[in-house]
Structures are given as C-alpha cells and as structure tokens.
Copies of this chain bind each other. A is one copy, B any other.
Amino acid sequence: MGTTRTPRASWIEQGLRALATGGPDAVRIENLAQSLGVTKGGFYGYFRNRDALLTEMLDTWEYEVSDGIIAQVDRAGGDARARLERLFLLVAEAADGPVRGITADLAVRAWARHDAGVAERLRRVDNRRMHYLRSLFSEFCTDTDEVEVRCLLAVTVRIGNHFHAADDGIRSRADVMATIRKRLLS
C-alpha cells in the first residue's frame, strides 16, 4: 500500500483553514488542492463530494472545541478558578490554530446564521460549554443568578470582542478585557 501522500486529514485541516479566513464559500476544492500542492484528482477518493468534506470539517471542529478542550483542561486538575484561568489561557493561545482557533469558531458562528445544520452543531457546542462553565463558576459563586450572569458574560464578551472593530481608547482593549476577566474570577 503506497504511502498516503496527502491524507484525509490534510483536506480537512486545509478546509478549516480556508473556512476560518474566508468563510464557508471560500472552501473550494480546487482551491484547497492548490494550497496542498496537488490537483483535485485525489479528493474524490476520500470524500463523496464537497458537502461530505464540510460535514467532516464540522465533525472534527465540534469535537475539538467542546470535549477536546474540556478534557485537556480537566486533565491538569486544580480548583475551579485554576481551571477557568487555564481554560482562558488555552483558548487564547490556540487563537490562530486551524481547528481550535478563534477564527474558526467565529466563522462557524457566522455560518450558523444561515445554515440550520451548522446552527444545530453550534447549539450543541455552546450548550456543552455553558454546562462546563456553570459547573466551574458554581464552585465559588453561591448565587445561581450570579453564576448565570458570569457564564453569559464570559462567553459573549469573548465572542463579541473578536467581532468588534473599534480602535483602542484611553485604555487598550487588552487591558479592559483583562479587567473584565479579573472581575469574573473574583
């Protein structure tokens, strides 16, 4: 059996990369092939068609950014605050990765706005994340309403911040975000 020259995973990763930078309509098979240094000849040996690729891209994304990340955070142990800090850090430093990166996350969110299937996946991911956040915040917040507020803030501020294009004011955006993060953990 000849060595797989450009394996299945290559197409998926390159697809996610294209999705992150150009949206779902930028996931063109001939385009991915060129980025991989081949032609589309081999593509249809792995995937039935373009939709099949999109599906598998979403499969890997869905796992990686929910159970994948949570498992990685839990593996390191520590109390709730330590895990939250570790989670924030992990999410920040994977920022430009093709799968767990924030750009892929945002691209999927934008995509979900006009594709029911993607919306359903995103719903699962966000539910899973919120469930995890609730469990962590509850460990040092007794008021359940306060827990809900902090969970929603943690998630929406992170997403909204990346869609927000304003320049820095007197304080830099990073500074303000750090202040907000500190308050969430108080």
| Chain A residues with a Cβ under 8 A of chain B | 21-23, 25-26, 103, 106-107, 109-110, 112-114, 119, 122-123, 125-127, 129-130, 134, 144-145, 148-149, 151-153, 155-161, 163-167, 169-171, 173, 176-177, 179-180
Q: Interface centre among A151, A165, A179, by most B CB within 10 Å?
A: A165
**A107-B110, A152-B164, A156-B160 known; 11 other A-B pairs, CB under 8 Å?**
A23-B113, A25-B25, A109-B110, A110-B110, A148-B171, A149-B176, A152-B176, A153-B180, A157-B160, A159-B163, A160-B161
A21 near B114 with CB under 8 A, answer yes
A125 and B164 CA atoms in complex are apart in Å by 10
A99 and B134 CA atoms in complex are apart in Å by 36
23 A-B interface contacts by CB (under 8 A):
A25-B25, A107-B113, A109-B165, A110-B113, A112-B165, A119-B165, A122-B165, A123-B165, A144-B170, A148-B169, A148-B170, A149-B180, A153-B180, A155-B164, A155-B166, A156-B156, A156-B157, A156-B159, A156-B160, A157-B160, A159-B164, A160-B160, A163-B163
Chain B positions within 8 Å of A159 at CB level: 156, 159-160, 163-164
For the complex formed, measure the closest distance between the CB of A127 and the CB atoms of chain B, giving whole angstroms.
5
A152 near B161 with CB under 8 A, answer yes
